[in-house]
């Protein structure tokens, strides 16, 4: 596809996804996965099972046939073809919100008793400070960012539209490109009822088109996923105001959110997961030298207290663990303890075959 050729308006993301029309789970209406999926289900995705499933064990006269167990497609953490929220995200959020509310009450009590310490004042003013900061951040994009549109960065614009449709969002977020100056980054935020995505220009490398379109679609899916999962809400961020003062607990919640967003990115364009991680690891030019499987394998090998600590203090899961989670779609990414292969499974020579990892095995590519 030529760099400036607009992608088909409603199918670009889905065509790249061979699992999109296969459903994901046999519906189990009372499971958390089902309730989460219902929030994001749009009319265009199948939410009902096929009319009949084959009896798994055959049937015998007089013996009731047990219901079919949940059948999981290779997409793993994408029930109904929709992304799953990390299992630890909501429990951690509850803990952080309770701690934040408690700290806020203490600040109010201290103020009422005449303590005008600057930290107490700052904390008591948190609702205002957050509102102000979000307003300034949004305004910066509105006056300095290049707003993606059908005529400006049309490829990225279409990816945002597709990702929003894919996640069943009622409104497409605004999207801006800002000068990256060599940095690889993107983020999502909001102000009031508005939501937006910001992508650094280095992710568009060739005349406004992505050097790695699949990687960009994964990254845009990740950022739009933050919005779809509610991470950019004012009230949520206010409830998490204490996060910078909670090094282990706070960062763990942020990491769980990142895994959730990665699940969205994977759902949006799973074929871009390895290139996106390679770009984060080695940059936009050398990403093709990164062996996704080779690096992911090290998640289970690198061990020790300091490895644990670097991850525990990070806002994003460390790259090797993140790659592991994107490859092993059968379970959620690890927050505290390094991942391990399934019980009884040794590490095969040359890493895990594609039957275990769901991102197609991607050996180091030649740079030539």
The reply to whether 197 sits near Zn ion by the rule CB under 5 A is: no
**Least distance in Å: CB of 83 to Zn ion?**
13
**Least distance in Å: CB of 97 to Zn ion?**
20
Of 258 and 293, CB closest to Zn ion: 258
Q: Are strands 186-191 and 174-178 parallel, antiparallel or unpaired?
A: unpaired
Cα angle value 325/265/15 (rounded, 5°): 120
Of 17 and 258, CB closest to Zn ion: 258
- Binding pattern to Zn ion, positions 103-142, x when CB under 5 A? ----------------------------------------
Q: How far apart are CA 107 and CA 104, in angstroms?
A: 5
Count of CB atoms situated within 10 Å of the CB of 324: 26
Of 191 and 231, CB closest to Zn ion: 231
| CA-CA-CA-CA torsion sign (244, 247, 253, 257) | positive
Q: Where are the alpha helices (H) located in 31-124, listed in sequence order?
A: 32-40, 89-112, 118-124
Of 124 and 164, CB closest to Zn ion: 164
- Binding pattern to Zn ion, positions 313-332, x when CB under 5 A? --------------------
**Least distance in Å: CB of 360 to Zn ion?**
23
**Least distance in Å: CB of 258 to Zn ion?**
5
Of 72 and 236, CB closest to Zn ion: 236
Cα angle value 225/328/356 (rounded, 5°): 145
**Least distance in Å: CB of 205 to Zn ion?**
21
Contact 245, 138 (CB under 8 A): no
Site size toward Zn ion, by CB under 5 A: 2
Question: 351: which 2 tokens?
Answer: 């890493």
Of 149 and 183, CB closest to Zn ion: 183
Enumerate residues 237-296 that contact Zn ion by CB under 5 A: 258, 261
Please give the C-alpha separations between residue 214 and each of 52, 263, 265, 268, in angstroms, as whole numbers.
Answer: 36, 15, 10, 10
Of 253 and 261, CB closest to Zn ion: 261
**Least distance in Å: CB of 288 to Zn ion?**
23
Count of CB atoms situated within 10 Å of the CB of 264: 28
**Least distance in Å: CB of 209 to Zn ion?**
23
The reply to whether 82 sits near Zn ion by the rule CB under 5 A is: no
- Find all residues with CB under 8 Å of 189, minimum gap 6, and list them: 134, 137, 138, 195, 196, 198, 232
Residue ranges binding Zn ion (CB under 5 A): 258, 261
């Amino acid at each position: 596809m030529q760099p400036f050729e607009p992608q088909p308006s409603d199918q670009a993301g889905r065509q790249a996804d061979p699992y999109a029309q296969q459903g994901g789970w046999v519906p189990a209406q009372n499971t958390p996965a089902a309730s989460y999926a219902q929030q994001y289900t749009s009319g265009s995705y199948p939410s009902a099972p096929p009319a009949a499933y084959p009896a798994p064990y055959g049937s015998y006269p007089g013996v009731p046939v047990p219901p079919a167990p949940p059948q999981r497609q290779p997409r793993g953490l994408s029930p109904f073809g929709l992304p799953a929220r990390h299992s630890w995200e909501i429990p951690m959020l509850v803990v952080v919100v309770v701690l934040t509310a408690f700290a806020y009450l203490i600040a109010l009590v201290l103020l009422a008793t005449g303590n005008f310490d600057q930290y107490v004042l700052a904390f008591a003013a948190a609702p205002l400070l957050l509102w102000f900061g979000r307003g300034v951040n949004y305004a910066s994009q509105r006056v300095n960012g290049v707003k993606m549109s059908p005529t400006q960065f049309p490829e990225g614009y279409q990816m945002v539209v597709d990702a929003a449709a894919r996640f069943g969002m009622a409104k497409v977020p605004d999207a801006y490109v800002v000068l990256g100056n060599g940095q690889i980054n993107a983020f999502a935020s909001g102000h009031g009822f508005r939501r937006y995505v910001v992508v650094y220009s280095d992710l568009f490398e060739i005349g406004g088109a992505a050097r790695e379109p699949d990687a960009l679609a994964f990254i845009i899916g990740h950022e739009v996923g933050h919005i779809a999962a509610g991470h950019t809400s004012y009230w949520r961020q206010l409830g998490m105001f204490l996060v910078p003062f909670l090094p282990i607990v706070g960062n763990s919640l942020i990491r769980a959110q990142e895994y959730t967003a990665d699940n969205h990115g994977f759902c949006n364009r799973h074929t871009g997961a390895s290139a996106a991680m390679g770009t984060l690891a080695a940059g936009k030019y050398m990403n093709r030298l990164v062996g996704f499987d080779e690096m992911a394998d090290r998640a289970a090998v690198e061990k020790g207290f300091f490895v644990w600590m670097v991850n525990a203090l990070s806002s994003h899961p460390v790259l090797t663990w993140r790659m592991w989670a994107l490859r092993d779609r059968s379970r959620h990414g690890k927050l505290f303890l390094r991942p391990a292969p399934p019980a009884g499974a040794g590490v095969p020579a040359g890493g895990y075959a594609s039957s275990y990892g769901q991102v197609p095995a991607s050996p180091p590519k030649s740079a030539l």
